[in-house]
Amino acid sequence: MKPSIRYLILAGLIVPFIMISCKSTRGGDTASLTDTVIQQDLDNPADEISLEELAKARAKAEESRDLAEYVDGNIYCPGEWDLAESRYNAARNQRGDPETKGEAYARTAEWKAIGALYDGIYGKSAPQFAGEQDKKLAAAREDAVRAGAGELVPDRLALADAKAASSRQKFERNDINGSISEGKDAWDRYRILQTLAEARTKQAEADELKFFTLDPDNYMIAAEAGNKAVSDYDKGNLAEAKREADESLSRFTQVIRNGWTSMVEEKASVAREQRAASQEAKADVAVRSDFAAAEQVYNQAHVALRGEAYTQAMDLFEQSGELYIIARDNALEKRKIAEEALRRTEQKLAESEELGKYADEIIGGEE
């Protein structure tokens, strides 16, 4: 019985060992096969799914960066910001789409890591920024009111004020993200209202000076953009409202610039004609100091024009023209005096010659 029992015991040990051994061998084969399949898949061309994931990761990182930048992350976390910016710029500068899935996955992972860096910066900077945000909103509101938003769009200013108040309340309740979100909304609204008020001031100037007739195309585009900005503001489309408000201000500014430039050009044209007449009279040679005085004012007029100091430019061109006339007249007068002196000299010489001839005749007669 004993040998039989021993045999059974040994058999019992051997069978599990064989099973374990077989299982281990098959597992190794499976792992190797899986690795091969994975590697082959990574080497396959990037497909739509991998490219979409990459695009999502990049968009999320861009959003995280915008938020971190908005809360002054570069100021509150300068070292971490520089690191994130370095990796962000490197990722952004990669040219073309990834060729393989492996490359797409690697880029996706990098963009996710970059987004995490900016999220970390946001998390550290947000509480400090929120504490300072109320002061910035007050300054933004003051700029808007100074530009005329209080009189132009009082109801819309009140809406921005409500957003600012909500930002303060949420900060007091320790809702940092909510406070920043409402504060950003209020900030954007104040800036839009400031821009619209500035555009309306430009429009009033253009109306008063009748510049519409000189640049009707820009005027109409500016007016339409302003109306569209107000409509988008009311709907809460603040990004579009800001773009339209900027367009309105830019176009009305161009109308003003073109109108004034046309008016200044009339004065400048007259000054150029008077300058040419002065040079023709040789004033730059005959009366250098007078001509130099006119030139100085003429050059100052051009400086004022480049600086868009239009009324000053007009006055200076007019003054320079008057000085050129003075220089011209002085040069002509000086020339007249010189010519008269020359005439007298020639007359005296002629008289001397006649007297000498007469004397010769007398002396010759005596002989």
The ranges assigned to domains in the chain are 50-128, 148-261, 281-362
Burial of 261 (0-12, 13-18, 19+ CB in 10 A): middle
Tell me the C-alpha distance between 110 and 106, whole Å.
Answer: 6
- What dihedral angle (degrees, nearest 10) is formed by the CA atoms of 245, 247, 249, 254? -170
**Which residue, among 245, 148, 251, has the nearest Cα to 189 in the 3D structure?**
245
Higher pLDDT, 230 or 351: 230
pLDDT, tens only, 180-212? 999 999 999 999 999 999 999 999 999 999 999
Q: CA-based angle 283:289:293, to the nearest 5?
A: 95
SS3 category, 338? helix
CB 192 within 8 A of CB 241: yes
pLDDT for 358 equals 57
What pTM was estimated for this model as a whole?
0.63
pLDDT higher than 90, residue 243: yes
Q: What is the maximum span of the chain, computed from C-alpha positions, in angstroms?
A: 193
CB 160 within 8 A of CB 189: yes
CB 302 within 8 A of CB 310: no
Q: Give Cα separations from 30 to 17, 23, 102 (angstroms).
A: 20, 10, 22
Confidence of residue 362 (pLDDT cuts 50, 70, 90): low
The number of residues in the chain equals 367
pLDDT, tens only, 298-314? 999 999 999 989 999 99
CB 180 within 8 A of CB 126: yes
Q: What's the whole-number average pLDDT of the chain?
A: 86
Token pair listed for 27: 């597992």
CB 274 within 8 A of CB 224: no
CB 320 within 8 A of CB 294: yes
